[in-house]
Amino acid sequence: MQKGTVDMKRKQLEKILLTALSILVFILFMIPIYWLVTTSLKYGRDAFTLPPQWFFFDATLKNFRVELENTKTLMFIKNSLIITVGATSLSLLLGVPAGYAIARAKSKLLNMSSFFFLILLMVPPVAMLIPFYLIMRDIGLIGSYWAVIILDTVFDASFVVWMMRSYFKDVPKEMEEAALVDGASHFTAFLQVALPLSIPGIVSSALYCIIYTWNDFLFALMLTSPKTKTIPLGILASFSAVDVSWGRMAALSVFAIIPAVIISLFLNRYFVQGLTMGATKG
């Protein structure tokens, strides 16, 4: 009886400690976001007062109004949307079939080729920047959307291939074989059987591509022109030689994180399921 009571108390204590630790970690992660949002609502004089005004300050929407009235802000958002949609679509179009082909390949050499994509993900992006810059310059794509889309696709598609290979390995081959027996082609079996069963993996891969491309700074910095700059470069433009507009920078940063937050909230269930299955299978 005493042993059962002790075990119950220990479990309750562990639960309390785990809850407290989770809350602490959540607060630590949310402090920068909270600081960003509150700074975007402050006047310039209040942004860095000492001691900091964490909760009680004169709030204003001036920074958001200024950014929305700025035509460059809308241009930054439009450019980011175009590049993100382009790179994500191209990565899924190339990566999903490639992952399926590798997962169903009977050749050991082809199966081992999936590690090439993993190695590619380990390469520092800056190491590929100069060669790609020279290539894009020679073919006349510097300053265009396609320069950034292609380079982002190299990394995004590599992740999609690796992710979907692991996910397709968990799709029962018997279901595809049954479709083949019924007269379907391999391509039809892929579209009507394997693809619908792998939706969580596709969604989680797409979410990764969206977040990676939307937040890309290095490639956009080197490969875009003033007319194709993305929102991370717009945030950088808040810095000048004589002044730093912290309020406007924070407001633009809020615009930058809103799409990722909204997409993550709506697709969170698929994202967790897809990552879990893709990480543990294959």
The 10s digit of each residue's pLDDT in 73-93 is 888 889 999 999 999 999 999
Least confident of 3-7, 170-174, 191-195: 3-7
CB atoms inside a 10 Å sphere around CB 247: 24
How far, rounded to the nearest angstrom, does the alpha carbon of residue 212 sit from its chain's CA centroid?
A: 4
Give the pLDDT score at 282.
44
Residue 39 pLDDT > 90: no
pLDDT band for position 279 (cuts 50, 70, 90): very low
Residue 281 pLDDT > 50: no
| Distance separating alpha carbons of residues 51 and 27, to the nearest angstrom | 20
| Distance separating alpha carbons of residues 33 and 18, to the nearest angstrom | 23
| Distance separating alpha carbons of residues 91 and 52, to the nearest angstrom | 44
State residue 265 phi and psi, 5-degree precision: -65, -40
Residue 276 pLDDT > 60: no
Give the pLDDT score at 153.
92
Q: What angle do CA 244, 250, 254 make, to 5 degrees?
A: 155
| Distance separating alpha carbons of residues 139 and 149, to the nearest angstrom | 15
Give the pLDDT score at 101.
85
Answer for the pair 100, 190: CB distance below 8 angstroms, yes or no: yes
Residue 242 pLDDT > 70: no
Q: What is the pTM of this model?
A: 0.81
Q: What is the CATH number of domain 66-280?
A: 1.10.3720.10
Answer for the pair 110, 99: CB distance below 8 angstroms, yes or no: no
- Location of structure tokens 């899924």: 92
Least confident of 83-87, 152-156, 197-201, 262-266: 262-266
Domain ranges of the chain: 2-46, 66-280
Transcribe 54-93 into DSSP letters. SS-S----HHHHHHHH-HHHHHHHHHHHHHHHHHHHHHHH
State residue 224 phi and psi, 5-degree precision: -100, 165
Please tell me which residue, 184 or 271, carries the higher pLDDT value.
Answer: 184
Residue 113 pLDDT > 80: no
